[in-house]
Structure 1
Amino acid sequence: MTTLRKIDPRKLQQKMQAGEVILIDIRSPREFAHEHIEGAQLVPLGSLDRHDFPDSRRQTAVFTCRSGARTTMAASRLLAKGFRSAYVLEGGLNAWKRAGLPVQSAPAEPLPLQRQVHLIAGSLALAGAILAWRVAPEFILLSGFVGAGLLLDGLTGFCGMARLLALMPWNRQSASA
């Protein structure tokens, strides 16, 4: 079996309350600190291979991320951990919140770096397009520059904007806390 079965948020909440499952959040520590489902264990996907679950393998595991996409893509790695059975929270944390279920959050925590990158890149690309349309066609280069940066990130995994954002005071303070 190379795919995780799906479980909806309400069913997961019932199983968690009954103590029938363990919930493992595979997002980054910063994402987890920003908001997470109460009772979830943080095991970031990047450190999953180094993490052993000796006391938990007899249990049913439910894995989650923000939307369910990372969890689904990592299904074979997660299944290899040897749990009795394993699920993915359908729709991830986003679906949990849409269902009106509670999350623990720390609003003082900055948005995760990837979301900060998306907000800034999207804003710059939109600004470049609007300025090219309304002011001068040369502003389209701004949108092209942002697109090239995103392409570089996708191809190489290097995101200059994320590296710059990590140096910002609000992100350094959070990382050291």
Structure 2
Amino acid sequence: MAQIIEGVSHISSQELQDIVSDTSSPIIIIDVREPEEYEAGHIDGLPLIPMGEIADLMDRLDPSKEYVFVCRSGRRSYEVAKFFGNNGFERVHNHLGGMLNWEQQGHDIAFGPAEDIIENFKPEQLERKRG
């Protein structure tokens, strides 16, 4: 169950795994790390939008949808979730503990570069690839 810490909803790695595993889930999960971090290990199928670039795309995102933000430790994703929450997005969550916790809990890690979605960004690019 999501918990509220410092005014932001946080979900555990197990809750995130449940969302990732549910192929019918409409929740959008975004990795906000840098490309080098993503390439070194990420959750398969998640789009990468670095924290420094996400604010520029915010006006193209649907504030009625639900979002989870992921980073290395949970700090950057917390800041992004807080920023979104302060800008009219009501259903946003931070992944508590980030990828460090995800790996520690034994969840699957994928490797390789992210697809470049920034230059010609379209919101549908955030839809998870369904298996």
Using structure 2 for the length normalisation, give the TM-score. 0.68
Instruction: State the shift of 1:57 in Å.
Output: 3.2
Higher relative CO (Cα under 8 Å, sequence separation at least 6) belongs to 2
Q: Does residue 91 in structure 1 map to residue 97 in structure 2?
A: yes
Instruction: State the shift of 1:76 in Å.
Output: 3.0
Distance 1:32 1:56, change over 3 A: farther
Instruction: State the shift of 1:27 in Å.
Output: 0.7
How many equivalent residue pairs?
Answer: 107
Counterpart pick for 2:42 among 36, 47, 50 = 36
Structure having the larger proportion of residues in helix:
1
Deviations 1:105-141 (A, max 9, x none): 14xx8xxxxxxxxxxxxxxxxxxxxxxxxxxxxxxxx
Cα RMSD of the aligned pairs, angstroms, is 2.4
Counterpart pick for 1:17 among 12, 17, 21 = 21
Instruction: State the shift of 1:59 in Å.
Output: 2.2
| d(CA) in 2 for partners of 1:40, 1:55 | 16
| d(CA) in 2 for partners of 1:11, 1:33 | 23
Instruction: State the shift of 1:75 in Å.
Output: 3.9
Distance 1:42 1:72, change over 3 A: same
Structure 1 residue runs of 4 or more that deviate by more than 6 Å after TM superposition = none
Greater C-alpha Rg = 1
Q: Does residue 7 in structure 1 map to residue 11 in structure 2?
A: yes
Query: Any residues of structure 2 matched to 1:125-164 within 5 Å, and which?
Result: none
Query: Percentage identity across aligned positions?
Result: 27
Distance 1:72 1:49, change over 3 A: same
Deviations 1:54-79 (A, max 9, x none): 45433211111100012224443232
| d(CA) in 1 for partners of 2:49, 2:7 | 19
Whether the 8 Å contact between 2:12 and 2:95 is mirrored in structure 1 is: yes
| d(CA) in 2 for partners of 1:78, 1:55 | 10
Unaligned runs of 5+ in 1: 110-177
Instruction: State the shift of 1:4 in Å.
Output: 1.9
Amino acid of the structure 1 residue aligned with 2:16: L
Whether the 8 Å contact between 2:11 and 2:96 is mirrored in structure 1 is: yes
Q: Secondary structure at the match of 1:71?
A: helix
Unaligned runs of 5+ in 2: 114-131
Query: Any residues of structure 2 matched to 1:62-77 within 5 Å, and which?
Result: 62-77=68-83
| d(CA) in 2 for partners of 1:52, 1:89 | 19
| d(CA) in 1 for partners of 2:81, 2:58 | 16
